[in-house]
Chain A
């Protein structure tokens, strides 16, 4: 039965993807992207990837929709002229597709417990998470500690994206801090009663959910990145309701930059602390007398760092785009 569910979702996904590429109106394409992203997230859940499903929904349906819409409201939503060299492109694509499909011959059977993926490195994680960290969520254990260096890299990828957008959008002809934006740009949805009441009611709950996801990440699906995205989404909701300027009053730009840099520094500092206490970089077991406690403490701290950076970067990017509307 679940097989049928999977096939149904994937087929819908393919149909949506074709529609996205064919859509002339970019706004429509972005809406369909949201649907595609939810379909992918649902497929991930069917494949037992709860954390990834959560991230994909927060990123694909939430953050990326907001970003694309902000960009579209500055640029334009119509796509002119269709495509260049469609036939050559189609040929290249078909050739590549054949290679990909060829590559799936002779692969291990889907879901085979004997496949290398399940028999080589993974069982070690599944077995040792309990022993070394005593936390239920293995994804968090691998993400935070066993492969914590990758996650450090991930935080800096987010940071560099934030730096990049701030850098790009703090120059050029559209940047003019002296000029005040037109009145409609700063009003938000303030004059619409129902969205405002419903939205304001929900903001505290969204923040609460964000904090829950942040600190519950060791026990259930979630963690710093998802929490950061959700908290950022709550602030963005506030900005949509009350106008971007008012959101900036709550969390001014320097605070956001402090958040993004501070989170990255916190993560790095935990790693360096590992060196100072006599271990290797990102070795959390030396952080407390008991190595299990040390691991838990380390993961908690770095997840907090991830959450801070992600919140800071997403909000900075949102405000940078919003400031360009005029």
Chain B
């Protein structure tokens, strides 16, 4: 009984996560600004981490949590790469703006 209830919960959580992922994708595609999309991608990464964690339990292979950890850290680095990209872009625009003047 308890197991069944746990499995039901796993399914419910997975479903909820999937819906959130869908929403994040919608935001990423619609935009409108770049920052919306960056945020959406970051959120999507987080949701993937959650999804995989739940699925690992659902499949009865909790050893897959290693994978989840990797996803979380990779996602983190991805955000930093984007931040650096924005920084360089801003700096370059400033440079070329000054050169233009």
Direct contact of A and B (CB under 8 A): yes
Cβ contact of A61, chosen from B40, B55, B78, B83, cutoff 8 A:
B78
Interface flags for A26-38 (1: CB within 8 Å of B; 0: not) read: 0110011011001
The SS class assigned to the B binding surface is helix
A248 at the interface (CB under 8 A from B): no
Q: With A27-B34, A38-B44 in contact, is A220–B66 under 8 Å at CB? A: yes
Q: How far is the CA of A69 from the CA of B88 in the complex (A)?
A: 11
Within 8 A of B (CB), among A15-68: 15-16, 19, 25, 27-28, 31-32, 34-35, 38-39, 41-42, 45-46, 50, 53-54, 57-58, 61-62, 65-66
B95 at the interface (CB under 8 A from A): yes
Contact B81 A69 (CB under 8 A): yes
Contact A240 B78 (CB under 8 A): no
Cβ contact of B14, chosen from A5, A185, A189, cutoff 8 A:
A5
Interface size on A, residues (CB 8 A): 62
Q: How far is the CA of A72 from the CA of B85 in the complex (A)?
A: 9
State the Cβ distance, B83 to closest chain A Cβ, in Å. Answer: 6
Residues of B within 8 A of A220 (CB): 63-64, 66
Chain A residues with CB under 8 Å of chain B are 1-2, 5, 8-9, 12, 15-16, 19, 25, 27-28, 31-32, 34-35, 38-39, 41-42, 45-46, 50, 53-54, 57-58, 61-62, 65-66, 69, 72-73, 77, 182, 184-185, 188-189, 192, 195, 199, 202, 205-206, 209, 212-213, 216, 220-222, 226, 230, 233-234, 236-237, 240-241, 325
Can you add 11 more A-B contacts, CB < 8 Å, to A1-B11, A42-B51, A184-B91?
A12-B21, A28-B31, A35-B41, A45-B52, A46-B55, A57-B74, A61-B45, A61-B74, A62-B78, A233-B73, A241-B80
